[in-house]
Amino acid sequence: MKKVLFIITIFIATGISAQTKYQTGMQKAFSHWEKGEMNKASQLFERISKAEPTNWLPSYYAATIEILGSFGLKDETKLKAKLTKAQEFLDDAKSNSENNPEIIITQALLNTAYIAFDGQKYGMTLSGKNAQLYAKALKIAPENPRVLLGNAEWNMGAAKFFGKSTKPYCEQIKKAIELGKKEKIEQEFYPKFQVKRAEQVLKQCQS
Amino acid sequence: MKRILFLLLIITQFSFLAQTTISGKVTDTKKNPIVGANVYLDGTYDGGSTDEKGEFSFITEEKGPQTLVISFVSFETFVKMDDVSKLKNLTVKLRDDVNSLDAVTINAGTFKAGEKAKVTVLKPLDIVTTASAVGDVLGALQTLPGTSAAAEDGRLFVRGGDAEETQIFIDGIRVFTPYSPTPNNTPTRGRYSPFLFEGITFSTGGYSAEFGQALSGVLDLTTIDKPDQEKTEISLMTLGGGLGNTQIWGNNSLSLNASYINLGPYTEIFPNRDKWVSPFQTASGEAVYRHTFKDDSMLKVYGAFSYTDVDVLQDNINFSDGLRFGLNNRNLYINSSYKNKFGNNWRIETGLSFTNDNTKAKIIDDNINNQENSTHFKVKLRKQFSSRFRISFGSEYFITKFDETYNPLNNQSFNYGFDNNLFASFAETDIFFSKNLATKIGVRAEHSSFSDEFTISPRASLSYKTGKNSQFSLAYGQFYQNPNNRYLKFNQDLKSENASHLIANFQHTKPNQIFRIEAYYKDYNSLVKFDNNNINGTNPNDVQPTFNSNFNNNGFGFAKGVDVFWRQNQKIKNTDYWVSYSYLDTERDFRNYPTAATPNFASSHNVSIVGKHWIESLKSQVGFAYNFASGRTYTNPNEAGFLNSKTKNFNSVSINWAYLIDQQKILYFSLNNALGTRNVFGYNYKNTPNANGNFDRQAIVPNADTFFFVGFFWTISDDKKSNNLNNL
């Protein structure tokens, strides 16, 4: 009996320490990301999302990588192909997690990628949508540092375009950094606040 | 117990050992390896990417039948279901994604605007920032090739066709009376505000079988699906003012706007050549209600009401006190549309429109009162079998009832009118043979009740991609249109007018750059002719049939030409410009023409140059537009012949300046024909010769050479960021 109990405990113990396929997969994807292997990272997130059809995180990350990779592209064909793919991932994420502020601000980031490419073509319809998206995200999660930072950055872009001071948004960025440092992540692989990047944005704001 | 555990362990071990290697090679259709494609078993963690040789290999513990997925950006995703043991040494050719931006598009004859279009010729902002357009959709389209500048008219004249040969649609549903009525030689505008639309398809020939009753062109405007935010818009202009409001709740949204324009104060300060009995004034209101259902299906109801009133004494050589023209027009338009997806890749679009238009005109001492009630009902179904093959088909029904009362001075009264019901069905298929070759083939059948006539119009177009950035297209089509209301009201013993189009197009696109050239030949048959002896009445298009005119369908004609378009953006910093050139050679024998001649509305050469420049330091956008049109024909009764002379060339330079006071306040200034060029559209000749036996003449000119406009636009919204730039 003791032996059986022992074996059972061993089994449970290994069950705890042994990582699930999901965890290994996600960790591997993040390590690809850190190494700058964007294509591999994105593809792995895509595969995980197909294997975990009810989890919003893998498709959220797959979308984020595609969006970040589209900034600076000169060829509209590539841009459109990448962002269309990103939109599919985001739609997938949305279907698993409604009114999620992280997904809402990523949608705004996707729109910004279009606007940054051709403001005349996409700006008229998408900039209004972005204002809406940030307002919605702020309503749901007024203390979410990523939402605060995204909103402040968006406003800074608009202020710069109109030749206005970006100073009013510095406070919001400071608040975001403060909240970001305090933030406790409860769900595994939940998006983290990038303090370093926020500090860079703060510098731009004050300059 | 131990044994059991041991056995269990063995089994698990064994299952760990039961691994299968999945391998193969991925290439494109030309056998070039695809690097970095994502290869995986659907629903598992097992997969990998292809290497430099396009090869992949990964290990899986899965067993039995599995789905192998291979996906790569701008290729169609490959899916194969098979037993894992058989997924070895595969050779997979990925097919090009024909929906990608660099795939061939069927575009002969068509210009698209809006962000959904693959190749945008105009951007949404262009409508409102083109100097000569003054915020009118039609004005912006008149800077594209294939249109003729008829600055005294304002309507769309496409490739040698009369303005009535171009039909306008909103969300695929016909607009029966798209233009605000105006006195002669005063340009009209579209009735509808530009900011309601997010996409424009303007076709100057060879269009889809979905559209009929147009011999020359089709303009389809797509209304906005979902407004972004709640806002209030206020505009104050030298000519009047406007107020708009948008509300959003749940899946519903409602936009209302009202405007009032009165030219009185302007003509007081800057008197022009006409004497105004009562100034031009128009009041209009629009409302759009949109409801989104769960599954992306959508209902839109659009209603517009406008009232126009004017009474003017126009300077005219035959009337010493001026030619009296009074007009009072009331117009109601309702358009509702519904779209939904169902079943396996089916789509349904249906819509209904209703127009009630009442015009009371007073010309000299005659009163004419007419009433038009028209309805259009349409259902269209589309089935997408794959991204390479789809069909669409549908039916539509048009009802028109037109009544007119004519009261000449002597208290007599004449009543006449007509009813016309038209039934049409259409079917069309789109086939992509590859990313480089596509075709669209369709047919349309129509039956008109007044003539009991049945017509069949085949349509076809083919596009071939000749290089990375270039493509070549061909289009052919037959087009029928009922005779105009002005003829039908006097005589219903007529049949449809006919045109056939043949178009060849070459297009070369690069980021921020478009070049296209298009050659066409148009053949007209069965055009309506009528007799009216007043052929010296100068501008033959102003000569109208009367109730005792004789009509027939013996008219004919042709139009051929070349259209060139070039647009470049950002090559010069913060600057966007385009150049359009159209060459047109046309003659027709129609209306009361005694012989075939080039009509007055057609000019052989048309040039438009439009430029915009953003000045960061001034927070301003400055724009300019230059329009040129070679001389137009007119009949000089002092010489033999019909339409025997040509006016001098038309030249106009317009400039505009939009200053962003802040994000929500804009000051806008525009000046049309800034150089004050005195343009002549034709001549009015005296009805009787003078003492020397010559007919004296008077030039037909705009009622003012130069026109300026100042406006202040203010948007109030929660985010304090949107502005009215799109309303200008």
| pLDDT, mean over chain B | 86
Q: Which residues contact A104 (CB under 8 A, 6 or more apart)?
A: A133, A136, A137, A140, A147
- Which range, of B259-273, B603-617, B711-725, averages the lowest pLDDT? B711-725
Q: CB distance B721–A122 less than 8 Å?
A: no
Retrieve residue B348's tokens.
């349904």
Query: Do both B122 and B78 map to the same domain?
Result: no
Query: Do both A80 and A108 map to the same domain?
Result: yes
Domain stops at, among B93, B121, B140? B93
- 3-class secondary structure, A149: helix
Assess if residue A49 is contained within a domain.
yes
Assess if residue B14 is contained within a domain.
no
- 3-class secondary structure, B42: coil
- CB distance from A73 to chain B under 8 Å? no
Query: Do both B78 and B148 map to the same domain?
Result: no
pLDDT of res. B293: 86
Assess if residue A95 is contained within a domain.
yes
pLDDT of res. B726: 41
Query: Do both B122 and B75 map to the same domain?
Result: no
Residues A61-111 have pLDDT tens digits of: 999 999 999 998 888 888 988 999 999 999 999 999 988 999 999 999 999
Residues B210-236 have pLDDT tens digits of: 999 999 999 998 888 877 778 888 888
Assess if residue A13 is contained within a domain.
no
What are the helix (H) ranges across A52-194?
A: 56-70, 76-96, 101-117, 119-140, 145-161, 170-182
Retrieve residue B187's tokens.
């340009």
DSSP classification of residue B210: T
Query: Do both B78 and B142 map to the same domain?
Result: no
Query: Do both B65 and B119 map to the same domain?
Result: no
Assess if residue A11 is contained within a domain.
no
The total number of structural domains in chain A stands at: 2
**Which pTM was predicted?**
0.83
B428, B210 in Cβ contact below 8 A?
Answer: yes
B45, A50 in Cβ contact below 8 A?
Answer: no
pLDDT of res. B3: 61
Q: Which residue of A40, A123, A129 is in closest CB contact with B49?
A: A40
Q: Give the residue on A whose Cα is nearest the Cα of B113.
A: A121
Whole-number Å distance between alpha carbons of B509 and B551: 48
Range of the domain at B495: 110-727
Query: Do both A118 and A165 map to the same domain?
Result: no
CA distances from A189 to A43, B43, B206 (A): 17, 20, 55
Assess if residue B121 is contained within a domain.
yes
Has residue B80 got a pLDDT over 80?
A: yes
Retrieve residue B551's tokens.
């009509």
Assess if residue A9 is contained within a domain.
no
Tokens 């009367």: give the residue. B546
Q: CB distance B229–A128 less than 8 Å?
A: yes
Q: CB distance B115–A48 less than 8 Å?
A: no
Whole-number Å distance between alpha carbons of B387 and B389: 6
Residues A28-69 have pLDDT tens digits of: 999 999 998 888 899 999 999 988 989 999 999 999 999 999
Has residue B724 got a pLDDT over 60?
A: no
B437, B104 in Cβ contact below 8 A?
Answer: yes
Query: Do both A24 and A119 map to the same domain?
Result: yes
Q: Which amino acid is at A190?
A: Y
Torsion of CA B360, B362, B368, B370, to 10 degrees: -20
Assess if residue B3 is contained within a domain.
no
B558, B596 in Cβ contact below 8 A?
Answer: no
pLDDT of res. B723: 54
Q: In this predicted model, which residue has the larger pLDDT, B718 or B321?
A: B321
Query: Do both A206 and A177 map to the same domain?
Result: yes
Torsion of CA B621, B149, B217, B359, to 10 degrees: 100
B584, B149 in Cβ contact below 8 A?
Answer: no
ipTM of the complex: 0.77
Assess if residue B10 is contained within a domain.
no
- CB distance from A170 to chain B under 8 Å? no
Assess if residue B35 is contained within a domain.
yes
pLDDT of res. B2: 59
B97, A80 in Cβ contact below 8 A?
Answer: no
Task: Write phi, then psi, for A41 (nearest 5 degrees).
Answer: -60, -50
Q: Which residues contact B7 (CB under 8 A, 6 or more apart)?
A: none
Assess if residue A96 is contained within a domain.
yes
Domain stops at, among B45, B61, B93? B93
Query: Do both B76 and B145 map to the same domain?
Result: no
Identify the CATH number of the domain in which residue B48 sits.
2.60.40.1120
Q: CB distance B576–A120 less than 8 Å?
A: yes
The total number of structural domains in chain B stands at: 2
B170, B720 in Cβ contact below 8 A?
Answer: no
Whole-number Å distance between alpha carbons of B84 and B38: 17
pLDDT of res. B118: 67
- Among B446, B470, B593, B464, smallest CA distance to B527 is for B593
B193, B727 in Cβ contact below 8 A?
Answer: yes
Has residue B437 got a pLDDT over 80?
A: yes
Has residue B299 got a pLDDT over 60?
A: yes
- Among B687, B678, B684, smallest CA distance to B697 is for B684
The angle, 0 to 180 degrees and rounded to 10, between the axes of the packed helices A195-206 and A145-161 is: 30
Has residue B12 got a pLDDT over 70?
A: no
Tokens 């013996």: give the residue. B554
pLDDT of res. B533: 61
Query: Do both B244 and B274 map to the same domain?
Result: yes
* Cα end-to-end distance, chain B, whole Å: 85
Query: Residues B673-698: what's their mean pLDDT?
Result: 87
- Which range, of A34-43, B111-120, B153-162, B246-255, averages the lowest pLDDT? B111-120
Identify the CATH number of the domain in which residue B119 sits.
2.40.170.20
Chain B contact residues (CB < 8 Å to A): 1, 5, 36, 38, 40, 42-47, 49, 69, 71, 73-74, 97, 100-102, 115, 120, 123-125, 198, 228-229, 511, 569, 576, 616-617, 619, 660, 662-663, 718-719, 721-722, 725-726
Residues B641-671 have pLDDT tens digits of: 888 899 999 999 999 998 888 767 888 888 9
Assess if residue A5 is contained within a domain.
no
- 3-class secondary structure, B75: strand
Query: Do both A39 and A104 map to the same domain?
Result: yes
Task: Write phi, then psi, for A135 (nearest 5 degrees).
Answer: -60, -40
Whole-number Å distance between alpha carbons of B330 and B332: 7
Q: CB distance A39–B198 less than 8 Å?
A: no
Concatenating the DSSP letter of every residue in B399-426 gives: EEEEEEEEE-TTS--EEEEEEEEEEEEE
Has residue B10 got a pLDDT over 60?
A: no
B443, B459 in Cβ contact below 8 A?
Answer: yes
Q: In this predicted model, which residue has the larger pLDDT, B622 or B722?
A: B622
Q: CB distance A46–B124 less than 8 Å?
A: no
- CB distance from A39 to chain B under 8 Å? yes
pLDDT of res. B588: 94
Query: Do both B345 and B461 map to the same domain?
Result: yes
Assess if residue B270 is contained within a domain.
yes
Concatenating the DSSP letter of every residue in B290-347 gives: EEE-TTS-EEEEEEEEEEEEEEEEEEETTEEEEEEEEEEEEEEEEEEEEEEEETTTEE
Query: Do both B202 and B278 map to the same domain?
Result: yes
Tokens 């769900």: give the residue. A187
Query: Residues B564-588: what's their mean pLDDT?
Result: 91
Tokens 């064994």: give the residue. B14
Q: CB distance B45–A48 less than 8 Å?
A: yes
Query: Residues B349-372: what's their mean pLDDT?
Result: 92
The angle, 0 to 180 degrees and rounded to 10, between the axes of the packed helices A76-96 and A56-70 is: 160
Has residue B496 got a pLDDT over 80?
A: yes
**DSSP run (H or E) holding B188:** none
Query: Do both B87 and B119 map to the same domain?
Result: no
Chain B residues with beta carbon closer than 8 angstroms to that of A120: 123, 125, 569, 576
DSSP classification of residue B388: T
Query: Do both A148 and A113 map to the same domain?
Result: no
In the sheet that B78-83 helps form, which strands lie side by side, from edge to edge?
B47-49, B38-41, B65-71, B78-83
Q: Helix-strand-coil percent breakdown of chain B, rounded to 5?
A: 10, 55, 35
pLDDT of res. B179: 85
Domain stops at, among B64, B93, B122? B93
Has residue B16 got a pLDDT over 60?
A: no
Band (pLDDT 50/70/90 cuts) for residue B14 is very low
Identify the CATH number of the domain in which residue A88 sits.
1.25.40
Assess if residue A6 is contained within a domain.
no
Has residue A15 got a pLDDT over 50?
A: no
Query: Do both B73 and B151 map to the same domain?
Result: no
| Closest CA of chain A from B365, distance in Å | 50
Has residue B714 got a pLDDT over 70?
A: yes
DSSP classification of residue A95: H
Q: Which residue of A39, A46, A50 is in closest CB contact with B36?
A: A39
Has residue A16 got a pLDDT over 50?
A: no
- 3-class secondary structure, B289: strand
- Among B397, B404, B390, smallest CA distance to B374 is for B397
Query: Do both A183 and A98 map to the same domain?
Result: no
- CB distance from A75 to chain B under 8 Å? yes
Residues B367-388 have pLDDT tens digits of: 899 999 999 999 999 999 988 9
Range of the domain at A203: 142-207
Residues A146-204 have pLDDT tens digits of: 999 999 988 888 777 666 778 888 888 999 899 988 888 888 889 988 888 888 888 88
Has residue B728 got a pLDDT over 50?
A: no
Percent of chain B with pLDDT over 90: 41
Assess if residue B100 is contained within a domain.
no
- 3-class secondary structure, B43: coil
Buried b (16+ CB within 10 A) or exposed e, B676-688: eeebbbbbbbbee
Query: Do both B258 and B348 map to the same domain?
Result: yes
Assess if residue B306 is contained within a domain.
yes
CA distances from B612 to B92, B177, B700 (A): 49, 32, 32
DSSP classification of residue B669: E
Tokens 């003492």: give the residue. B691
List all residues of chain A from 98 to 137 with a beta carbon under 8 Å from chain B: 114, 120-125, 127-129, 131-132, 135
Q: In this predicted model, which residue has the larger pLDDT, B538 or B361?
A: B361
